[in-house]
Each structure stands twice: as structure tokens, then as C-alpha cells.
């Protein structure tokens, strides 16, 4: 079985997406685009610009730092805004994406073409917080899709009871686990650890549900938040992994998946990846899994088949065992750099050092086992 452990569907991005109003979704979307590494380009001549028209760069990870820039969906995978009387844009999705929604029929058509059997739908607030939408995608295609629940991270401390009730409702709708994104807290000015005492009522409730927890890290910018180039800051990431380790130690029986991987751009040295020993601390003696999504992180850095990253795949499998490593794509977002087929073939045809059983586990067996799917 080929099981994409990390894919997306989303509703109309010009609507509310589960927020109280379209403005709520638009603000999260504007912040996400302002903080993304895709280049800002001037529409009339594609000259390079910056993100200052979208956000105050000195506080760029805060929602209250957003600029009034007429930010909007412009079709064909791009978002536009005004700055100094000029129109700028970012090509966030592939240009072939004409509509602002991406439904399950579109994803499954891509899966069929690439030869992918199943996919797990992940979450991010800038693509909507509506659990009913994801549950509907899964219910319409139960043999092809699974989905994760989401509760707004910024509500977990002020309203743990309400957050847990929504999570329980979403699991009751057929969703398979919780996707929690600590960087969302930064948007509301909360840069404190997400394992602190105020979070314990929420996390204790999550642990009692006996569901897997998927955590996305690696995007926080507590230090030097005004840097326009989004330069890597391994110290921030190391602090996040320390928080993760404390959380694991407090909830050792909860199955944890670290999504996306280890923020690979932090560890590029001389056209290769060099992982320091400290990155493995969160995985020792734990029930934690790691996702491999190299193309979405590095597809704009290294061309297919990304030879500099291939030895790192073998290193990860050697360290953790293939039964704790899960392939994913970020499809369809990754299509701006690589095709679905290339994402699959990166593991299936390249990455020397993996046995056939290793490849089978990474490409589907691990995800299927975690989610109780017959492979």
C-alpha cells in the first residue's frame, strides 16, 4: 500500500473556513503568505519585492502586525496585494490551481495518477479550521482518505473544556487524531512553551482520548523576528525540541507524530544536510514517529531527485527504524516544485541504503499501521 501520510483538502479560501467570518480566515492566510519563503514579485515586471507591504517586519509573526494591503486570492495559485501603488504577488500554489478551494475529488485524481492508495488530510488554520469539512471529505471517500481534527491552539488555554468538546465531536465524526501547530500561538503573541502548566487541562484531556497527536514545529521565530530573509535559527528549533521532549516525558503513552520532519533548511551545510546529535533526543525511548517531507521544504533548493538529501533518509531510517518513519508530500502545495510522482519516486527509486521492506514501511506500512488501516 502507498499511503501519503500528509496531504490537504480545503474549502473556498474567500469564505470563512470555519472562522466567525471571512476576515478571520483572510488574516491567517495573509500572515501565512507574508511569512512564507516563496518570493514576493512585482506584478508588472516580476521584479523582486519584499513582504513589508503585508506585515510589519519587526513583528511579522503577529496577526496584529498585518498591514492593510488589499490582500486577496487572485486565481491560478497566487495571492496579490498592494504596496506603494504597485501590485505584488506570491505564487504559493501551482499556477494550474485556478480555484481557491481544493476538494477531495481533486486530490484523489492526483492520487490515482501517481498510484497512491490512501492519504491522511492534515490541517493548518490558514486553510480553514472547519472539522466538518474534513470529516465530509473522509466520509465521501472512506477507502481513500483519513483526516485529522484541529482545535484552534490559541483557545486551548482560555477554554480547555470547549476545545476538548470540539475535539471529541470531531473524532466522533470519524477523524483519526489531533493536529496541533504550536507556531499558531505566536500569531496571538504567545511565545511561551506549549507544555506549560496552563496547557495541562487540555493535554490531559487529549491523552485520555487515546488518539494519535500530530505536532508541527519548526516555524517559530522568537528571536530576530524582523529578519526579512527567514534565515534559519537552530536555537529556536532546539528550544522547540526541548519542549517536545518534556511533553513526551509527561505523556509517554500518547502516540506522537512529528510532521514535516526536522525543518531541514536549518541543517544545510555545503550542499548537504548535517543533522546534529541533539535532534534525536526527542525520539529516544518514546512512541514518537517522524514524517519525511523533503520536497516541500527543499524542492526549491535542490532539483529532483535531490541527491544531497538522499543519505539523510537512510540515516533517519537507521536511527529510528522504518516502522517509525512515515512518507508524506504536502500535496497539492508541493506541486509548485515537484510532481506527485516525483515525491513518490524520491523514496521508491532513489535513497540508496533502504531495503525493500524499509521502503514498503516508509511509503505506507507505517501510516497504515498507525491508523489501523489494512495494508
- Could you say which of 44, 64, 91 is where a domain stops? 91
Q: Could you read off the pLDDT of 271-284 as tens digits, one per residue?
A: 999 999 999 998 99
- The mean pLDDT value for 135-161 works out to 98
- Could you say which of 50, 74, 91 is where a domain stops? 91
pLDDT > 90: percent of the chain? 90
Q: Is residue 364 part of a domain?
A: yes
Mark whether 49 and 79 lie in a shared domain: yes
Q: Which residues are paired to 91 by β-bridges? A: 78
What range defines the domain where residue 49 resides? Answer: 22-91
Q: Could you read off the pLDDT of 241-259 as tens digits, one per residue?
A: 999 999 999 999 999 999 9
Q: Is residue 17 part of a domain?
A: no
Sign of the torsion formed by the C-alpha atoms of 314, 320, 326 and 329: negative
* String of DSSP letters for 262-331: S-GGGGB-SSSB---GGGGGGGTTS-EEEEE-HHHHHTTTS-TT-GGGHHHHHHHHHHH-GGGEEE---B
Q: Could you read off the pLDDT of 4-41 as tens digits, one per residue?
A: 999 999 999 999 999 999 999 999 999 999 999 999 99
Mark whether 170 and 216 lie in a shared domain: yes
pLDDT band at 266 (very low <50, low <70, confident <90, very high): confident
- Could you say which of 61, 91, 121 is where a domain stops? 91
CB 324 within 8 A of CB 362: no
pLDDT band at 152 (very low <50, low <70, confident <90, very high): very high
Mark whether 146 and 81 lie in a shared domain: no
CB 346 within 8 A of CB 295: yes
For position 209, which CATH number holds? 3.20.20.140
Q: Could you read off the pLDDT of 106-119 as tens digits, one per residue?
A: 999 999 999 999 99
Q: What is the pTM of this model?
A: 0.95
pLDDT band at 88 (very low <50, low <70, confident <90, very high): very high
Mark whether 336 and 197 lie in a shared domain: yes
Mark whether 106 and 87 lie in a shared domain: no
Q: Is residue 230 part of a domain?
A: yes
- Name the least confident of 172-186, 231-245, 303-317, 324-338: 231-245
pLDDT band at 218 (very low <50, low <70, confident <90, very high): low
Mark whether 147 and 84 lie in a shared domain: no
Mark whether 43 and 117 lie in a shared domain: no
Mark whether 264 and 125 lie in a shared domain: yes
Mark whether 238 and 349 lie in a shared domain: yes
- Considering the chain, what is the average pLDDT of its residues? 94
Total domains present in the chain: 2
Residue 165's Cα: distance from chain center in Å? 24
Q: Is residue 7 part of a domain?
A: yes
Amino acid at each position: 500500500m502507498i499511503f501519503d501520510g500528509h496531504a490537504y483538502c480545503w474549502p473556498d479560501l474567500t469564505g470563512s473556513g470555519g472562522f466567525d467570518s471571512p476576515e478571520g480566515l483572510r488574516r491567517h492566510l495573509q500572515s501565512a503568505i507574508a511569512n512564507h519563503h516563496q518570493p514576493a514579485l512585482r506584478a508588472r515586471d516580476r521584479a523582486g519585492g519584499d513582504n513589508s507591504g503585508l506585515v510589519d517586519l519587526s513583528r511579522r509573526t503577529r496577526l496584529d502586525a498585518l498591514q492593510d494591503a488589499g490582500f486577496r486570492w487572485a486565481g491560478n495559485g497566487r495571492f496579490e496585494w498592494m504596496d506603494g501603488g504597485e501590485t505584488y504577488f506570491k505564487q504559493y500554489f501551482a499556477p494550474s490551481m485556478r480555484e481557491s478551494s481544493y476538494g477531495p475529488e481533486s486530490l484523489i485524481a492526483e492520487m490515482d495518477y501517481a498510484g497512491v492508495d490512501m492519504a491522511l488530510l492534515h490541517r493548518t488554520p490558514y486553510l480553514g479550521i472547519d472539522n466538518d469539512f474534513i470529516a465530509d471529505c473522509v466520509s465521501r471517500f472512506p477507502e481513500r482518505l483519513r483526516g485529522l481534527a484541529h482545535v484552534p491552539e490559541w483557545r486551548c488555554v482560555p477554554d480547555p473544556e470547549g476545545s476538548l468538546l470540539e475535539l471529541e465531536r470531531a473524532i466522533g465524526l470519524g477523524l483519526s487524531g489531533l493536529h496541533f501547530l504550536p507556531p499558531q500561538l505566536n500569531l496571538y503573541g504567545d511565545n511561551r512553551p506549549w507544555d506549560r502548566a496552563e496547557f495541562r487541562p487540555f493535554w490531559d484531556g487529549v491523552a485520555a482520548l487515546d488518539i494519535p497527536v500530530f505536532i508541527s514545529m519548526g516555524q517559530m521565530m522568537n528571536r530576530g523576528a524582523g529578519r526579512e530573509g527567514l534565515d534559519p535559527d537552530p536555537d529556536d528549533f532546539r528550544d522547540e525540541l526541548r519542549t517536545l521532549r518534556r511533553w513526551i516525558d509527561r505523556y509517554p503513552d500518547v502516540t506522537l507524530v512529528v510532521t514535516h520532519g526536522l525543518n531541514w533548511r536549518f541543517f544545510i551545510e555545503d550542499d548537504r544536510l548535517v543533522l546534529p546529535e541533539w535532534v534525536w533526543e526527542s525520539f529516544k525511548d518514546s512512541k514518537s514517529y517522524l514524517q519525511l517531507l523533503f520536497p516541500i521544504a527543499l524542492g526549491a533548493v535542490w532539483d529532483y531527485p535531490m541527491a544531497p538529501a538522499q543519505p539523510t533518509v537512510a540515516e533517519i531510517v537507521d536511527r529510528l527504524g522504518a516502522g517509525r518513519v512515515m512518507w508524506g508530500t504536502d500535496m497539492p502545495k508541493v506541486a509548485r516544485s515537484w510532481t506527485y510522482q516525483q515525491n513518490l519516486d524520491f523514496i521508491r527509486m532513489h535513497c540508496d541504503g533502504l531495503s525493500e521492506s524499509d521502503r514498503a514501511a516508509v511509503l505506507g506500512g507505517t501510516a497504515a499501521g498507525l491508523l489501523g488501516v489494512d495494508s
